Amino acid sequence: MDAMLRRLGVATCLSLGVVLPTAQAQSTDGYHAIQVFPLVVDTASFTQRFHFQGTNPWDYWTMSAVFYPARGTAQAGPLICQSFLPSANGETGFASLRALCPGLAPGSAFGTLVLHSVEGGLFAGTSRVSNPSGMGFTVEAFPAHTFLAGQSFVTGLRRLAPQGSAPGFQTNCFVGRLAESAQAGPPTPITVKVALANSAGVALGDTSVAVLPGELVRLLDVFSAANVGQGNIDDAVASFEPQGSSLAGLVSFCTVQDNTSYAAD
């Protein structure tokens, strides 16, 4: 497994002069040899369907995938998933994370998925997360080199109590680090400061998260995690600031959860 994990390096990037087909994903930078799904899930509440597409019908290459579990899930460590060949004439799909990674431990699973074209072929990936009623949201694959070390921000965070027919909302934030970004030697955690401010820029609270290479940490109800007082909050901003140096590969994002129907997160 160590050789496979090392092979999933994040240094690969494309020349700007390469002309590629239009990517069927939200990113305009859709086709690469290494792609990352920041969030993948297989639980009683959500399942995730995956779609992949290559670039040229005359090229065939092997796709390898590694699942990195989030802290606190049933999977004890990184899992090498099955290899497959992406289709250039149509989409290659998997009905769930467990279908792509059949070795997953029983129980709820969520974390990060890193995919690598062994021969260097280019591909795009997207996915749909759905609840048992079929309602859900899209998670696209991002080129690995887009995960950097600088401070990042997420806007539009909400904590609202249900009112009448309007659902209640909470915000969950995630902090992770790509395993391939770690320096040689024993894995050591980095610390990321997560600070919240309201729409006027007034500080609300903060917390710090220690995260190991290959780990994803969920802050369930980030307002509570940052010790923010009670009450409704709309259009808040979260900042993620890594502490120290050599911190490439930082993964940070938030989801707004509909606490009534769980139709979106």
DSSP state of 158: E
∠ CA 218-128-94, rounded to 5°: 105
100-120 tens-digit pLDDT:
999 999 999 999 999 998 888
The amino acid present at 56, given as its one-letter code, is N
**Which residues have CB under 8 Å from 25's CB, separation 6+?**
124, 125, 126, 140, 141
Size (the chain), residues: 265
Our measurement of the distance from residue 62's CA atom to the centroid of its chain's CA atoms, rounded to an integer in Å, reads: 22
Across 77-105, average pLDDT: 89
Across 10-33, average pLDDT: 44
Across 153-175, average pLDDT: 93
Is residue 264 over pLDDT 80? no
Q: Which residue carries 């694959």 as its tokens?
A: 141
State residue 14's pLDDT score: 26
Please give the structure tokens belonging to residue 120: 């260097």
128-138 tens-digit pLDDT:
999 888 888 89
Helix (H/G/I), strand (E/B), else coil: 163: strand
36-84 tens-digit pLDDT:
999 999 999 899 999 998 876 556 678 899 999 999 898 989 999 999 8
- As to burial, measured by CB atoms within 10 angstroms (0-12 exposed, 13-18 middle, 19+ buried), residue 206 is middle
Ranges of H-type helices in the chain: 2-7, 97-100, 222-225
Q: How far is 130 from 49, CA to CA, in rounded Å?
A: 8
DSSP state of 23: P
Proportion of the chain above pLDDT 70, given as a percent: 82
Ranges of H-type helices in 12-168: 97-100
Is residue 1 over pLDDT 80? no
Instruction: Give yes or no for a contact between 146 and 244, defined as CB atoms under 8 angstroms apart.
Output: no
Q: How far is 57 from 140, CA to CA, in rounded Å?
A: 22
State residue 12's pLDDT score: 29
